[in-house]
Amino acid sequence: MDGTADTTGRTMEVARIEKERGSDTIVQPRELVEVRYARGVSLSLSARKVFALMMHQAAGDAWRDQEHRIAKRMLRGSHNSNDRLTETIDELMGIFFAMPDKVDGDHGRRTFQMIEETFEGGEQGWLIYRFTRRARDLLKDSEAYALLHRATVLAFDSKYALELYQLGALLYRRDVPIWRGDVETLRAKLGVPEGAYSSFADLRRFVLDAATAEINQLVPQFSVAWDVAKRRGRKVIEVAITFRRKPPIAAVAAEEENERHRAGRRARRDGTAETIMDPSAIIAATAANLGVSDVLRWPADDQVTEFGAVELHAIGVTYGGGHAVQRLADQYARVRADKRRQLRGDALREDWTTWVRGCAEKWSKP
C-alpha cells in the first residue's frame, strides 16, 4: 500500500490527536452533522448518544476497514433501563442516511447506512463494530468537524437539542455563525418525524424552544437563539438560528450543570427551582469579568452585543427565552424611542429586564 492510501483529511487527524491526549472531546465530522435521515425516520436520543460514543472510541481510525470495540460499561448514561442497549444497536443498524452526491456528472441523492456489522458481548463485555465502506470513505475525506463535549452529549434529554448542539458546534466559530433555511429543511435537519408537530406553533414549542432552552442551560461553548426569517402572510417560511460564544461565567455555569444530577434540571431550566448561581449573579459576574463601566447606558448604535453592551446582552440571554437578543433590542429601541437614552444605571437595568421578560413570555405563546 503506498503512502497516499493512509492520507486522511483534517477531521481524522484531529480525532487521532484528541484520542491520544485522552480527551473527552468528540470529534464529529461535518458530513455527519449535515447528513439527513432517509425515509422519514430518525434516530432516538439513546441511539444518537451511543453513535457519538462509538465515533469517539473509533476516533482517528474510524475510516479504516477494521473492527472497533468499546466496553459496554462506557455506554452507560447513553440509555436508561427501559431502553436496552441491544435495541439501540438494532436501531443504529437499521437507520438510513441521505446526502447529495454526484456520479459521472449526474447530481442526485445517495442513501447509505453507517454501521456494517456489530457483535455485542455479555453484560460486562464489549461492543464490536465496523463502519460501512461508504461511511469510511466519507470519514477519511472529511476536512471539517464539530467538537462536542462528551458530558454535554450525555446530559441532553431531547434528541432535537443534541442535533442542534452538533450544528451549533460546527458553526459558532465562523464569522457568520447563522444557519438559515426553510421549515421543511429544518425539520429534516433535526430529524423531526413526518407528521409530527405539523403546525409551526407546535414545532416552535416542542422542538425549537425546548431545544434552545436545553442548549443554553447545558452547552459551555455557545448560546443559541432563533428567529423567523421570512413569512408569507402569517405562514412562517424560513427560520434563522444564531450561535454565539458564551461569556466565561455562563460557560462555567453550563459546565457545573453538566456535573449536577439530572433530577430537577428541568425545574432549574424553567426557573422554578433554586440554582447554584442565580441569573443576577451570572449577569453581575459577566459584567465585572469584561470590565463594564460603573454607569449602565443604552448603546448609542442600539447594538446590544456580548462585547459592546455586555450586561444588557447577558440580561437578554438570561431572560430572553432563547430569542435573539438583537431582536429584543430592536423592539425596545423602537418602543422606547426617547426613554432609552434617558435611563441610566439601575433604572435602565430594571426597565430592560422587564421588557425582555415580557417579550419572552409574549413570544413563547402559540
Given 1.10.10.10, 3.40.50.970, 3.10.129.10, 3.40.50.2020, which CATH number is that of 156-258? 1.10.10.10
CA distance 64 to 221: 31
Instruction: Provide the pLDDT for residue 19.
Output: 92
Among residues 191, 19, 12, which one has the least CA distance to residue 98?
191
Predicted local confidence at residue 47, as pLDDT: 92
Q: 9-42: buried (b, 16+ CB within 10 Å) or exposed (e) per residue?
A: bebbbbbbebbeeeeebbbbbbbbbebbbbeeeb
At residue 287, the pLDDT reads 52
Residue 114 has a pLDDT of: 93
What are the residues whose beta carbons fall under 8 Å from the beta carbon of 202, sequence distance 6 or more?
366
| 4 confidence band (pLDDT: 50, 70, 90) | very low
Q: How confident is the model at residue 252 (pLDDT cuts 50, 70, 90)?
A: confident
Does the structure show a pLDDT above 90 at 160? yes
Question: Confidence class of residue 276 from pLDDT cuts 50, 70 and 90?
Answer: very low
Q: Which residue has the higher pLDDT, 280 or 321?
A: 321
Percent of the chain with pLDDT over 70: 87
Most confident of 13-17, 81-85, 312-316: 13-17
pLDDT bucket at 237, cuts 50 / 70 / 90: very high
- Does residue 139 or residue 318 have the better pLDDT? 139
- Report whether pLDDT(119) > 60: yes
Whether the per-residue pLDDT at 34 is higher than 80: the answer is yes
Does the pLDDT value for residue 137 go beyond 90? yes
**pLDDT per position as a tens digit, 290-348:** 444 457 788 888 888 766 677 788 888 888 877 888 888 888 988 888 788 888 888 88
H/E stretch holding 362 reads helix 345-363
DSSP 146-211: EEEEHHHHHH-S-HHHHHHHHHHHHHTTSSS-EEEEEHHHHHHHHTPPTTTT-SHHHHIIIIIIHH
Which range has highest mean pLDDT (54-68, 115-129, 317-331)? 54-68
Question: Is 1-149 in CATH node 3.30.70.360?
Answer: no
User: What pLDDT does residue 200 have?
Assistant: 94
* pLDDT given at position 7: 87
pLDDT value, residue 279: 56
Rounded to a whole number of angstroms, the distance between the first and last alpha carbons of the chain is 61
In the chain, what is the greatest distance between 2 CA atoms, to the nearest angstrom?
74
Q: What average pLDDT does the structure give for the chain?
A: 85
pTM attached to this predicted model: 0.72
Would you place residue 82 in the very low, low, confident or very high pLDDT band (cuts 50, 70, 90)?
A: very low
Report pLDDT for 14. Answer: 96
Query: Does residue 270 carry a pLDDT above 80?
Result: no
Query: Residue 272 — pLDDT band, cuts 50, 70, 90?
Result: low
Domain positions in the chain are 1-149, 156-258, 278-363
> Which pLDDT score, from 0 to 100, does residue 226 have?
93
In this prediction, residue 280 carries a pLDDT of 55
**Hey, is 129 helix, strand or coil?**
strand
Q: So what's the pLDDT on residue 5?
A: 60
Grid cell, residue 306, equals 456580548
Residues 186-226 pLDDT 10s: 999 898 988 889 999 999 999 999 999 999 999 999 999 99
